[in-house]
Structure 1
Amino acid sequence: MKWLHRISLSVAALCAAVSPGASAQTQPTYETSWIGNSFGFGDGKWVQLDVEAISVGSDGTVYTNAPWDESGSEVGAYKGGSKVAVAGNTHGWGNAGGDAVASNGTYLYAGMSIGNESNALVGSDYPPSNTTWYGITRRLVSNIATGAPFASGIGNSANVTKNSFLRENAVPTGTDASIRGLAASATELYVANTYANQIEVDDANTMRRLRSWAVPSPGRILIDTDGTLWIIQGLQGATGRSIVHYSTAGALIGSAVSLPSGTVPVDLAISPSGQLLVADGGASQQILLYNKTASGQTSLAGQLGTRNGIFHVTTGVPGDWRFNGITGIGFDASGNLYVAQNGFGPRAFGSVFDGEGTVLESYAWSSQALNWRLYGLTFVDGGSFDPAEPASVFSGSKHFSLDYRQTQPGQEWSYAGFTLDRFQYPDDPALHLPKGVRGEPMVRRVNGSLLLYTIDMYSHYLSIYRFNAAAEGQVAIPSGLFAENPIPGSWPSGQPSYGEWMWRDANGDGHVDASEIQANPSSGNAPEDGFWWVDSQGNIWLGMLGSGIRELPLQGFDAYGNPVYTYASAKTYAMPQPFSRVARIVYDASSDAMYVSGYTSAYPYDSSHWKAAGRLLVRYDNWSSGTPQARYTIMLPWNVTADPQQTPVGVAVAGNYIFVAELYTDRVDVYDVRNGQQVGYMKPGTSVGGTSGWVDVYLGISAVERSTGEYVVLVEDDARAKILMYRWTP
């Protein structure tokens, strides 16, 4: 049965309640901190959001590469637990990073691509219409921000990397022809041209082609101490991956390395004792050790790291030698081992970004003791507080523990858990939904049960997770999913071809079965881009753009601990006056107050600002009574002629205050929840470099009032792989 609640209040009466607080421009006394990155950017450093490949210099400098880092650190350098350089000119103006990197003491070679920004960039530096170039940028090891030009080099004529790009593949835009392996000696550069199914050998100094030979879908290349090559092949195709041994002329040596069943080789290294190391991206999440014979044969001698890595008991708990998505391994001249991880493994073909955050570690080979570890754990990912413990914060796929006694910014947080188990739960919606990250979190405690609700960047889907700490440790078990429309592609099997639908894990196995999918029999497609919200009682709300607001009350829990919802129990609320379009909603069940932001006929929606939270915010009291009353209206910050533009994007309510994040300006506006008056605003402090990235998601802000009276506000930082944290005691 559906219920229709109407709100009757004249526009004139509502406008009379408009808060004049928007004129307040004061900054309260607060502290800026952050969660999820080893550096805050106050020192000019940040750990990039993804590492797809590493090359380790003899001095312990770790060079990294990835197709994308929001602030342009696709190619970076780390040493001794610190970040020491950013290559630059691998981001924007058609440039992107890549999936391979190598160094030889003189030059750094990194895979990258050059596009033309949808044919907007023209000239000799850019590919022709509808074409993308994939190749290698060569830089000086002495200064990786400076190109090392060569006679046949092209591109980047407007900056310091002029004529330092080697074009390997020119392909139709949308085709993934990325270089997936590089290795360099003092005289030769070995290139795994995966797209062309060949190994290419170039002069390391002139960059001219010396020779090549066919290898099926090659990937990582390792130069052994005797100059021969170990190559991972079969990255694409039905035969699977293998590791083969070649001479530098392309002749096979011995037979392929015998890999344990289920092994997915992702990178190679030679240990100080001469053993071949194979990083396994399969379920073992270990590094395999192989002895070698003079004839080129290998035999498995052991494993490094905890079996199943971070997914060993206690599942999801990070720690030494508990690997999670290895993307690169290597040694320096002193025998230190370096391991790069991104929580997923090397990027899938055709994707832009698969990573779940960077972990970069160094271990002493002799003692196996940890030397140092760096984190860059969050991207387009917010934080939400456990209502039972404000020192416990969840992002979409991470769990952080906070120690509020710490006085140095960035020192409050520690990494407590990785909650996404791709091996145990391959049907986790996070692995299938667009954008490839679990999304913005809402943590709720309902009848003692800990639940995690997440939405994607733009609120198309609402995913539900439950926890079973005794059996699953830190892992969030897929429990349910709401889709406003059918999900593009073939997953999941059994979804309707039209209309909204929900899934509940009725048999408790965490997998999506066709029999567990329920379509809405009456409403057809839900409004696209509606905004999901879950209240403290576990009731689900959907702000339906131009159609009002809908509630799906929690119907209890099934035998497996999954929250139960039905379309039959839905309640629909008409569009509250004076709104013509709902953008965000926050329902406070404890006070029966609904906070709605959006647009009116007087302040209409403009599709060019489709991410915005609207022009005004209204608090309605007695929402569930059937006759709610508008208590006040707040005119939200809005100046689209400013530079940067001033528009709101996210709303959070905690205690006596409303916090509104602005999209472009680094600013959080603070209002009194009792009367709507603005009490000030917060902006990033010096500890984070006085800046943040755009709040590029619909649910990019959350807040909590601690028992001490302190307010803690979390804001997604799109730029530098972290979550901003403001600490304020009124």
Structure 2
Amino acid sequence: MYAVCAQAAHLDYTTSWIGNTFGYGDGKWVQLNVEAISVAPDGTVFTNAPWDESGSEVAAYRNGDKLAVAGFTHGWGAHGGDAVASNSTYLYAGMSIDTEDGVLVGSDYPPKGQAWFGITRRQVSNIAKGVPFASGIGNSANSSKNSFVRLNAVRDGTDASVRGLAATETELFIANTYADRIEVLDANSMRRMRSFAVPSPGRIAIDADGSLWVIQGLRGDAGRSVAHYSPQGALLGAALALPAQAVPVDVAIAPDGRLLVADNGPSQQILVFSKPATGTAQLSGTIGTRAGIFHETAGVPGVMRFNGITGIGFDRAGNLYVAQNGFGPRAFASGLNGEGTVIESYNYAKRTLNWRLQGLTFVDGGDFDPASPRDVFSGSKHFKIDYSRPPGQEWSYAGSTLNRFAYPDDPAFHLPKGVRGEPMVRRLNGQRFLFTIDMYSHYLSVFRFQAGAQGETAIPSGLISQTPIPGDWPAGQPALGEFMWRDANGDGRVGAGEIESNPSAGNTAANGFWWVDSAGDVWMGTLVSGIRKMPLQGFDAAGNPVYRYSASTVFPMPAPFTRIARIVYVAETDTMYVTGFTSGYPYDASHWKEAGRVLARYDRWSSGHPSLQYTIALPWTVDASPQVTTVGVAVAGSHIFVAELYTARVDIYDNRTGQFIGSMTPGPEVGGTGGWVDVYLGISAARRDNGEYVVLVEDDARAKILMYRWKP
């Protein structure tokens, strides 16, 4: 029996957001990842990144505001890059061009199976405008026509990205990391002038005398160093004497003439080197809190508590600019980091903060602490919410729960996609636990919290995997079938002896959907084999939740479903909500990501004789533009919230009757738009004590989480 949809009532709600300085109501957003910056004399900060979901790979910011997006670095074979530089006339940014698997052909594109890496040149006064030159190629269909210089033509999948750029009014210095050389171009004609050998060079700083400070050794096993070269390539003295464990990632010349080196090692500081008239530059000080955001109390952000510096630079007024992304510049031949962007401006002399911009989430949802709806967690961030403030101002960044130095075995650093996925926050025995899944729900990661010096850090506690993980991590995983890891010795690292396999399952559990209920029991909705419950068995001596395959129970596929896509189990009422497909509303493989066409509620689920209360035919029109399909489900109070995939709409139902209540769509506060919900667990909801519902929806388009506030 399908619930009847009556005429929807008008809903009184507001739209807000979490995790980004800008909500896009004014057309602005802080890009999701910054790999490099260049600072102009007037304080304009130019940025570059290999990827921003909405095409802001190359952008400009000033005085805490976003000024412009370069564009034409996203789509139609174009991608951003890892380096950027500017002079008074031009902006130079690393980028690449490919054929999108042979779809794109012509003189603007490489042959099928190949990619080009090089530099796009734009006007500083209008970075959306390319400046062509005689040898320029590419992008003939847009305003960046013939403004790309090709440096490397390589096979698809090869990383030949430029990792460093520096410019004067007459010369452009390019760190061709892939080719082990620095190439020098005429900054105006873009004609090649000379080149010289440097072992896998990276960032470049031009000193007052025209000499170059270069980070080198970005690939290979020799380690990184900072060397000094003449503009013609002569090595000037010995490399800098860096502290032990230092990982140099950027270099800059301060207004007082000192050399600054950004250290992405455990210190998370900026190293300051004096330059005597004769002899080698010497370390004379540091900028920033030692260990950065990981200094006690770990994970708490603050002034000069750096986290993954990707770029530093100065304006003519002597302000220092620091860009961070939570990891540092991506390693050679590695993928995207995806942990967000922080850009800060400091008074260099006083070490005081001028302004800060943040874009902190990507393919990352949010969930509420059951004990406190004012605390919202994404997969790797903690936000405090003040519901008395206006839209977009309710949130503040309270903590990073990811600690790569203390816990390098955190699954976030090893699982495909490299993002600590969608969160479920649970209180078990009064303690807060964080459960996360990846984009498409293959892996369930478990984290515990510990008061004191661990602070905001979510300590890796366990992992349940439906299949072996590609690659050589973790050691000891089976070659076939499910397995789980529990941190038995409490050190947050995976030991081969801590891994348990489920040999009876084979690969039958692949592509199921994870759900953790309020009692800590782990449920999995398999595609076609019913629903499995893995009950919490208690806690070990380290405080980790204990699960065992042998304690699992499997519930058969509930009628009328033929395929399960999502489940939500409410332990307090023994109620199961299931979405998926039926014989009357069948599965279509072209919509593999969706939550399904039907939703059903079952009471007395655990009794062995569950009672089907109703079924709902969910919105589904695949011949519309945009298509109307579902992607996520949340239950709170007396309502069900269903996120649609392509329309940025949230549909609301009464969970007692299945009656349709109405829909919410992004309001003017966020420009009337949102991105696709690109994950399986991209929506959550909570009912506050005052009766207001707060609904969080993943919005990967512009590095934020949408927040709806609705009071029936």
Indicate the TM-score class for this superposition, using the shorter chain for normalisation. Answer: over 0.9
**In structure 2, how many angstroms separate the alpha carbons of the residues matched to 1:69 and 1:480?**
31
How many Å apart are 1:297 and its aligned residue? Answer: 1.4
In the alignment, structure 1 residue 102 sits paired with structure 2 residue 92: no
**In structure 1, how many angstroms separate the alpha carbons of the residues matched to 2:522 and 2:645?**
25
**2:469 match:** 487
Deviations 1:253-288 (A, max 9, x none): 111000000000000011111110000010100000
Asked if structure 1 preserves the Cα contact closer than 8 Å seen for 2:337 and 2:418, the reply is: yes
Superposition pairs for residues 347-366 of structure 1, below 5 Å?
347-366=330-349
Deviations 1:31-73 (A, max 9, x none): 0000000000000100000000000000000000000000000
Query: Which of these residues, 388, 400, 414, is aligned with residue 371 of structure 2?
Result: 388
**1:447 match:** 429
> What code does the residue aligned with 1:603 have?
Y
**2:601 match:** 619
Superposition pairs for residues 464-503 of structure 1, below 5 Å?
464-503=446-485
**1:8 match:** none
Query: Which of these residues, 570, 595, 618, is aligned with residue 577 of structure 2?
Result: 595
How many Å apart are 1:296 and its aligned residue? Answer: 5.6
**2:356 match:** 373
**2:328 match:** 345
**1:315 match:** 298
**Higher RCO structure (Cα 8 Å, ≥6 apart):** 1
1:545 alignment partner, SS class: coil
Query: Which of these residues, 704, 707, 712, is aligned with residue 725 of structure 1?
Result: 707
**1:400 match:** 383
How many Å apart are 1:349 and its aligned residue? Answer: 2.5
**In structure 1, how many angstroms separate the alpha carbons of the residues matched to 2:112 and 2:559?**
49
Query: Which of these residues, 14, 17, 20, is aligned with residue 4 of structure 2?
Result: 20
In the alignment, structure 1 residue 546 sits paired with structure 2 residue 528: yes
How many Å apart are 1:377 and its aligned residue? Answer: 0.1
**2:211 match:** 228
**1:210 match:** 193
Deviations 1:661-696 (A, max 9, x none): 000001000000100001000000000000000000
> What code does the residue aligned with 1:509 have?
D
Asked if structure 2 preserves the Cα contact closer than 8 Å seen for 1:67 and 1:352, the reply is: no
In the alignment, structure 1 residue 65 sits paired with structure 2 residue 48: yes
How many Å apart are 1:456 and its aligned residue? Answer: 0.2
Query: Which of these residues, 686, 707, 720, is aligned with residue 668 of structure 2?
Result: 686
How many Å apart are 1:293 and its aligned residue? Answer: 2.1
Superposition pairs for residues 190-589 of structure 1, below 5 Å?
190-295=173-278, 297-406=280-389, 408-589=390-571
**In structure 2, how many angstroms separate the alpha carbons of the residues matched to 1:296 and 1:88?**
45
Asked if structure 2 preserves the Cα contact closer than 8 Å seen for 1:27 and 1:682, the reply is: no
Asked if structure 1 preserves the Cα contact closer than 8 Å seen for 2:482 and 2:509, the reply is: no
How many Å apart are 1:524 and its aligned residue? Answer: 1.5
How many Å apart are 1:582 and its aligned residue? Answer: 0.5
How many Å apart are 1:602 and its aligned residue? Answer: 1.4
Query: Which of these residues, 630, 633, 647, is aligned with residue 651 of structure 1?
Result: 633
**In structure 1, how many angstroms separate the alpha carbons of the residues matched to 2:251 and 2:407?**
28
Asked if structure 2 preserves the Cα contact closer than 8 Å seen for 1:222 and 1:231, the reply is: yes
Asked if structure 2 preserves the Cα contact closer than 8 Å seen for 1:347 and 1:355, the reply is: no
Identical aligned residues as a percent: 70
1:568 alignment partner, SS class: helix
Deviations 1:308-344 (A, max 9, x none): 0000000000000000000000000000000000001
**In structure 1, how many angstroms separate the alpha carbons of the residues matched to 2:700 and 2:578?**
25
Asked if structure 1 preserves the Cα contact closer than 8 Å seen for 2:345 and 2:354, the reply is: yes
1:252 alignment partner, SS class: coil
Deviations 1:511-561 (A, max 9, x none): 000000000131112432100000000000000100100000000111111
Asked if structure 2 preserves the Cα contact closer than 8 Å seen for 1:253 and 1:296, the reply is: no
TM-score normalised per structure 2: 0.99
**In structure 2, how many angstroms separate the alpha carbons of the residues matched to 1:486 and 1:49?**
30
Q: Structure 1 stretches of 5 or more lacking a match?
A: 1-15
What's the C-alpha RMSD, in Å, of the aligned pairs?
A: 0.8
> What code does the residue aligned with 2:339 have?
E
**In structure 1, how many angstroms separate the alpha carbons of the residues matched to 2:10 and 2:432?**
35
Deviations 1:590-617 (A, max 9, x none): 1110000001111111110000001100
Deviations 1:475-522 (A, max 9, x none): 000000011000000001000011100000000000000000000131
Against the structure 1 CA distance between its residues 422 and 531, is the aligned structure 2 distance closer, same or farther, given a 3 Å change threshold? Answer: same
In the alignment, structure 1 residue 122 sits paired with structure 2 residue 100: no
1:44 alignment partner, SS class: coil
2:701 alignment partner, SS class: coil
2:497 alignment partner, SS class: helix
**In structure 1, how many angstroms separate the alpha carbons of the residues matched to 2:685 and 2:351?**
41
> What code does the residue aligned with 2:502 have?
N
Q: Structure 2 stretches of 5 or more lacking a match?
A: none
In the alignment, structure 1 residue 77 sits paired with structure 2 residue 72: no
**In structure 1, how many angstroms separate the alpha carbons of the residues matched to 2:341 and 2:543?**
32
How many Å apart are 1:26 and its aligned residue? Answer: 4.4
**In structure 1, how many angstroms separate the alpha carbons of the residues matched to 2:171 and 2:330?**
26
Deviations 1:608-650 (A, max 9, x none): 0000001100000000111010001111100000001000000
**In structure 2, how many angstroms separate the alpha carbons of the residues matched to 1:256 and 1:697?**
46
